[in-house]
Chains A and B, each alone.
Chain A
Amino acid sequence: MKQVFTAVALGSLFAGAPAFADAEVGKPAPAFTLKDEAGKEHSLSQYKGKVVVLEWTNPECPFVKRHYEADTMANTLKGFDAKKVVWLAVDSTAHNTPEKSAAWKKDEGFTYPVLQDASGATGKAYGAKTTPHMYVIDEQGVVRYAGAIDDDPRGKNEKKVNHVKTTVDALLGGKPVPASTTTPYGCSVKYKSAS
């Protein structure tokens, strides 16, 4: 009898359902609580009512460096109403430390927090694969955009479309999001087990 049960149970396992999905456009964003480089805690839930932009980052990545040299992130944020939009950088690099983030923030002179996710749990919950990898979450906590910062992976186009800007502008203006998923580009996120 036991064998029968085992066989049957295995059968039901095989027929089992698909796994949890990553942060999906149109679905509630995975919750998180992470400390920033100064040790202050940030939860997604505390920003309910605001549009939240998540930027997976790694100061060692050439793609991130290029965007910080061009001030892409700071300029994008500058274009938004600061009362309605929160920008959070997340660093899931295994060997990153709050001290490194703090030094980088000082060098680059930006204002938003750098959330410390060295365990990679939040990065993996979102399915963040690259740096930069951008997510826009609306006032209700629903993911509305996932993908690249812009349509110019090589940094060579004269005119580029900043997907985060178009998404946030559309959300605040009550318009449909023009492109809700794009293919992110950049370095892979250097998750813990990769070290």
Chain B
Amino acid sequence: MKHTVSKRLVPVGGLCLWLLATVAHAALPPSAVATSAPDEGDPRVEASLLVDATQVKPGDTFRVGVRFRLDPGWHIYWKNPGDSGLETEIDWDTPGSTVGPLQWPFPSTFRTPDGFIVTHGYEGEVLLFANATASAQAQGSLQLSAAVNALVCEVHCIPADMMLTRTIPVGPQTLPDAEAMPTFDAARARVPRPMADSGYDVKVELATKPLTAGQPFTGTLTLTSTKGAPLPPLEKDFFVPARIPGVDVVHLKETAPGRFALEGKAEPDVPQAEPRLEGVLRLGTAATGYHALEVDAPLAPVVAAAAVPGAAPAAVAKPPSIKDSLAAVKPAAVVPAAAPAESSLGLGMALVFAFLGGALLNLMPCVFPVLALKAYGFTRMVRQEQGRVGAHAAAYAGGIVGSMLLLAGAVLAVRAGGAGVGWGFQFQEPLFVAAVSAVLVAFALNLFGVFNVGLDGTSLAGKVDQSHGLMHSAGEGVLAVVLATPCSAPLLGTAVGFAFAAGPITVLAVFTALGLGLALPFCVLVLVPGLAKRLPKPGAWMERFKQVLGFALLGTTVWLVWVMGGLAGVDGMARLLAFLVAVGLGTWVYGQSQTQEGGRRWASLGVAVVVLVGAGVATLRFDDAAAATPRATSSTVAQAQPWSDEAVSAALAAGQPVFVDFTADWCLTCKFNERTVLSREEVRAAFTEHQVAFFVADWTRRDARITARLAEHGRAGVPMYLVLDPAAPDAPEVLPELLTVDSVVDAVKRASACSPSNRADGSKVLCAARLPKP
């Protein structure tokens, strides 16, 4: 039997063309060809039952398949259809022969323009086939029937049910069908091969092990050639995951030849058995030719997430495959609760970030005065106490690390108490702000020479109590830490966010790294002898410099007073200022006492203490309620609204892009960004142009909702900037912690590219291509 295989696609359009296409198959029995998916009278799919032999010998194997031809733009689905659609199904009824599993050529990936819905399947023409074996007792002819159920989609979908039948004579020889054979061979070449006989090997290493139910995971997939051959280049959509029970869509992104970043998510009811990464990988390009492989590698064992009250782990509705059943027999590895799985950042990376972040803190406006002070003291020391420089450096570093560890301890204690804390949390406490202000004022007055604490080299030179000097260095280290916390430097947010979500040991390690980073510049001065010699010679300028530094400290105090205004209102500010005046008076009296003798000296000292304590008790009563009115104008952008999830959803629902500024008054980086970027005319114009809804989430005082939202993005502190696209509200863009006008304007532009206002004027903006974030 001979038949003509049309090489043309079924043309679009009318009945005549369709008839023509059918005539092309005149040699196929009419029962073996069917059309379906009628769309306004025009069938969108044609299916033919093909066999690669014209006669089959009993006991021989042959191939049967269904060839689909689709109108341009229409597609059917792969065995994992993806986000929507339906697996193409072929039910064989073949008395006298047995048909094996369906072979699926490597599928295409289809995306909606916004990338929200991703599906896998075939367009144009595809042959889905299977190997069949004729029974040894077969006689006469073999009856072959295929019941095809496919969902045929363009934008809308049409279900197609087709019944295809034909008979193949049984004879003394198996005679290949020269017409059909190439079609089968071409399809065979596109079917992914098992990894074992492909000449390649795949390894999967998850960064987040074990898998936690309901949590995302990341990892690395490494592809190597067992023959050491170079890896071929790849084309877009080179990986298509199979449907993995309990695991949400898995993405692979090539980071280097043969290395892929893996990203996925365990469903809340992921089965306890170790899930496997299953899918197909296609090497090569259209130009070089393709080479498709099956991927099947274990991911990691699963642990249950912290129990959701009442939500018992449930069976995945999909019937388990044989592989699942086998895997289920193995005892699932039991691993103790794995907190680090919450963050995708490894401990090593977090330590590096913490160290770098700590070093950067030295440049922040809140720490710089202290560093300058230290450098000033150091200049003096280098000349006078050559031998003790190392000890001072160690004391300074020790002071920093020690207080960092204290802070870490406080974090752990507060967290154990169940309260949500974040970086800089202590600045949410008015008394703490008052205490730091007092220390700063006292320090400044000391620099002005109002009193001496052995700091002043000129008056105390020669009788410096060495241990006292070391204590002083350590004290400066402590002060540096205290002042550093609100200046959440870039990187620090991530590292500290990691620490806050992690176990006690990790918290301590990260804070130690942070401290060492902060101490670094000073220690470098000490450890590199040449550097120290470059410092200017001491002289009268030092006295003036010291006094200038005093003003810098007073400047920092102004900021703290303003922070207090945010915490406790105008009254709170006034109380703090009154207290600071008392501090000034107290230190002045103390300074007077230093020149006095005996009883008078002690009396003066007493007066100083009484002034301080009395003023403290009288003034330091801060009322949270005084500042209860939310200050939406905390940002200089006039249209700012106070943040709430509901308000954001409402704005997004209205099609507006959303910018959320997570800020706090005590966060200098935030204020810097607001002053230098967010209040700029360009930014304001961009916001107006794109109708951006601007929200301010003010974390000056504790707010559990904001803490939770920060934690969702792996942050423990502010600033954080989110830009939400109404077309993809579930994929907000997190801006860098240091903003620039360009970065904000560009982000807002991207987020509004698909907004109604832009679409209305028909502009062809790229709304699609929102690739998953690395």
Contact = CB atoms under 8 A, between A and B. Distances in A.
B243 A26 contact: no
A183 B318 contact: yes
Interface residues of B, number: 80
A19 to B, nearest CB: 4
Contacts of B649: 30-33, 121, 125
A71 interface: no
A169 interface: no
Contacts of B315: 178-179
Nearest to A185: B86
B356 interface: yes
A17 B727 contact: no
B268 A180 contact: yes
Contact of A179 (B114, B269, B344): B269
A147 B773 contact: no
A14 B774 contact: yes
A109 interface: no
B243 to A, nearest CB: 7
Given A30-B649, A193-B768, A19 B731 contact: yes
A19 B314 contact: no
Nearest to B736: A9
Nearest to B216: A18
B424 interface: no
Contact of A193 (B89, B114, B318, B353): B114
Interface in A13-66: 13-22, 24-26, 30-34, 60-63
Most buried by A among B650, B736, B754: B736
Nearest to A194: B112
Contacts of B759: 192
Contacts of A124: 116, 727-730
B255 to A, nearest CB: 11
B653 A33 contact: yes
B85 interface: yes
A50 to B, nearest CB: 17
Nearest to A60: B156
B715 interface: yes
Contacts of B738: 5-6, 9
Given A13-B735, A26-B214, A121 B112 contact: no
Interface residues of A, number: 68
A191 B116 contact: yes
Nearest to B650: A33
Nearest to A7: B490
B316 interface: yes
Nearest to B218: A18
Contact of B316 (A19, A176, A179, A185): A179
Contacts of A18: 216, 344, 713-714, 773
Contacts of B735: 13
Contacts of A151: 317
Contacts of A101: none
B490 A9 contact: yes
Nearest to B110: A188
A165 interface: no
Given A187-B156, A193-B113, A193-B727, A182 B316 contact: yes
A154 B231 CA distance: 41
Contact of B157 (A33, A62, A120): A62
Contacts of B158: 62
Nearest to B267: A181
Interface stretch (B282-290, B305-313, B399-407): B305-313
A72 interface: no
Interface string A154-191: 10000001010000000000001111111111111111
Contacts of B99: none
Nearest to A20: B730
B652 A8 contact: no
B485 to A, nearest CB: 18
Contacts of B112: 188, 191, 193-194
A98 interface: no
Interface in B199-214: 214
Contact of A129 (B117, B155, B731, B774): B117
B653 A129 contact: no
Interface string B103-117: 000000000111011
Contact of A12 (B310, B494, B768, B774): B494
Contact of A21 (B646, B728, B730): B730
B84 A25 contact: no
B696 interface: no
Contacts of A70: none
Nearest to B768: A193
Contacts of B316: 179, 181-182
A60 B376 CA distance: 77
Nearest to A184: B84
A66 B470 CA distance: 82
A194 B156 CA distance: 11
B159 interface: yes
A119 interface: yes
A178 B316 CA distance: 9
Most buried by A among B216, B363, B730, B774: B730
A15 B114 CA distance: 24
A6 to B, nearest CB: 8
B727 A120 contact: yes
B413 interface: no
Given A62-B157, A187-B157, A16 B314 contact: no
B717 interface: no
Given A17-B712, A17-B714, A26-B214, A31 B646 contact: yes
Contact of A125 (B86, B363, B712, B729): B729
Contacts of A148: 317
Nearest to A150: B317
Contact of B490 (A12, A179, A184, A190): A12
Nearest to A117: B653
A163 B317 contact: yes
Contacts of A142: 308, 311
A160 B726 CA distance: 37
Contacts of B650: 33
Contacts of A30: 649
B491 interface: yes
A180 B494 contact: no
Interface in B308-356: 308, 310-312, 314-318, 343-345, 349, 353, 356
Contact of B84 (A6, A17, A187): A187
Nearest to B89: A154
5 closest pairs, A vs B, by CB?
Answer: A176-B312, A17-B714, A9-B736, A188-B84, A182-B317
19 contacts: A8-B491, A10-B736, A14-B774, A15-B494, A16-B734, A17-B497, A17-B713, A17-B715, A17-B734, A24-B214, A31-B649, A119-B653, A129-B116, A161-B317, A176-B312, A181-B316, A183-B243, A190-B156, A192-B754
Given A18-B216, A191-B117, 7 more contacts: A17-B714, A19-B773, A180-B269, A180-B311, A183-B318, A188-B157, A193-B727
